[in-house]
Amino acid sequence: MRPRLLYLVGQLRTGGMERQLWSLLQAMDRRHYRPAVAVWNYHEEDTYVSHLRALGVPLHPLPRGISKPMRLRAFRRLVGRLQPEVIHSYCFHTNFAAWWAALGRNAVAVGAIRGEFTRAMQESGPWLGRLCARWPRAQICNSFAAAEIVRRSRSLFAPGQLYVIRNGVDLRRFRAVPLSTAGQAYILGVGSLFRVKRWDRLLRAVLSLKRRGLDVLARIVGSGPLRESLQQQAQALGIAACVEFLGHREDIPGLLADATFLTHTSDSEGCPNVVMEAMACGRAVVATDVGDTPTLVDHQKTGFVVPCGDDAALVERMATLIADRQLCRRMGEAARLKAEREFGVDRLVTETLTTYRAVGWKDRGSA
């Protein structure tokens, strides 16, 4: 049975993009829409391979060990064989491939801008970055901040039609758990161990909190190339006993339930999943003012938003929540209410399908 919706992704490793695709497909009426996923860089051991197979979603790996032009042709042949109605590139650097594969076929192509637009263009390279920024004509941003950067760019290499669909959270999986208002403060940080996430800020903040005599333990969840250097930094700062590097974990709801609050210290973001997930679990958030974070977190109501690079403000806000657990609890309760109003995954599905129709998809049903 041919798929109606074909998603093209770069990989199925552990990341926010992969989690959002899985959440979208999990909540979708898969019998009606018959989604399938093509993977540009496929590895059988990647985390979301088994997750998508458990949903019964067909996976189509593209050949490895061949040049990019050859892979483009292989994807176009795959599209010719499957004949989907919509081809949705779910990450920026595969946008042009989705457009080119749909060219001359009876399929609607949709691209993606996840995170910061100019950074995505730079990381894709001078030529591919421009092509992926311009084609497909219709692209979906996962943050209002990214969309605003695109609109201000006034560049020829930008999508002609831009839609914003924020990430979604499974509110049944990320449930509100009462906060313990006594004992040691558990500070949780979740994200890949790359420089842009700026975990060095969190480590320096923990040092400052310890110097104030506050009883804290920071848990950092995620994998990446900086793990060893971050562990060495914690050792050099004398806080190794106060920081745990947990690596990749699947039990994020449980870790959030144990946490006092979430801290997010990134230099660049789109619509950070973990901020929304923490709020859904009834946890206050202290985060830098990047991407859509300032509109996700209501400053002084569901947490604190601090200027990116203002380490002193970061420490002060964390210290406030550690010292005043009742405030921390009230903020977490307000965060859950906002998550229930705005973050549900059903909204993600509805807005995504509505966008497909807006750009020309004729949803004729399963017949």
Question: Other C-beta atoms within 10 Å of 116: how many?
Answer: 21
Supply the pLDDT for residue 92: 96
Helical pair 117-124 and 126-134, crossing angle rounded to 10 deg: 130
CB atoms within 10 A of CB 339: 23
Helical H segments across 135-175, by residue range: 144-153
pLDDT digits (tens, 9 = 90+) for 161-199: 999 999 999 999 999 999 988 889 999 999 999 999 999
Q: Which fold has domain 5-168+345-358?
A: Rossmann fold (3.40.50)
| Strands, E assignment, the chain | 5-9, 35-39, 59-61, 86-89, 108-113, 138-141, 161-164, 185-190, 216-221, 243-247, 261-264, 285-288, 303-306
pLDDT tens-place string over residues 284-339: 999 999 999 999 999 999 999 999 999 999 999 999 999 999 999 999 999 999 99
SS3 49: helix
- Measured in whole angstroms, the distance separating CA 232 from the mean position of its chain's CA atoms is 28
Give the position of tokens 């995504």. Answer: 352
Closest of 194, 249, 176 to residue 219, by C-alpha:
249
pLDDT of residue 261: 98
- pLDDT for 182 equals 83
Give the closest residue to 88 by CA, choosing from 57, 113, 121.
Answer: 113
Amino acid at position 150, single letter: V
d(CA 210, CA 322): 12
Closest by CA position to 271, among listed 298, 247, 293, 244: 293
pLDDT at residue 367, as a whole number: 39
| 139-171 as b/e: b if 16+ CB within 10 A | bbbbbbbbbebbeeeeeeebbeebbbbbbbbbb
Q: What is the mean pLDDT of residues 23-40?
A: 97
Q: Give the pLDDT confidence score for residue 365 in this predicted structure.
A: 64
Confidence of residue 360 (pLDDT cuts 50, 70, 90): very high
Average pLDDT over residues 15-33: 95
Rounded distance between C-alpha atoms, residue 279 and residue 268, angstroms: 20
Mean pLDDT for 46-51 is 95
pLDDT of residue 366: 45
Residue range(s) of every CATH 3.40.50.2000 domain in the chain: 5-168+345-358, 185-342
* Top CATH class, 185-342: alpha beta
Contact between residue 40 and residue 7 where contact means Cβ atoms under 8 Å apart:
no
**Comparing C-alpha atoms, which of 216, 225, 229 is closest to residue 259?**
216
Q: How far apart are CA 270 and CA 139, in angstroms?
A: 15
The answer, yes or no, to whether residue 46 has pLDDT greater than 90, is yes
- Give me the amino acid identity at 295: T
- Across all residues in the chain, what is the average pLDDT? 95
pLDDT digit string, tens, across residues 224-269: 999 999 999 999 999 999 999 999 999 999 999 999 999 999 998 9
Q: Could you check whether the bond before residue 136 is cis, i.e. omega within 30 degrees of 0?
A: yes
Of residues 152 and 354, which shows the higher confidence score?
354
- Report pLDDT digits (tens) over 128-142: 999 999 999 999 999
Which two tokens mark 230? 């971050």
Chain-centroid distance of CA 270 in Å reads 7
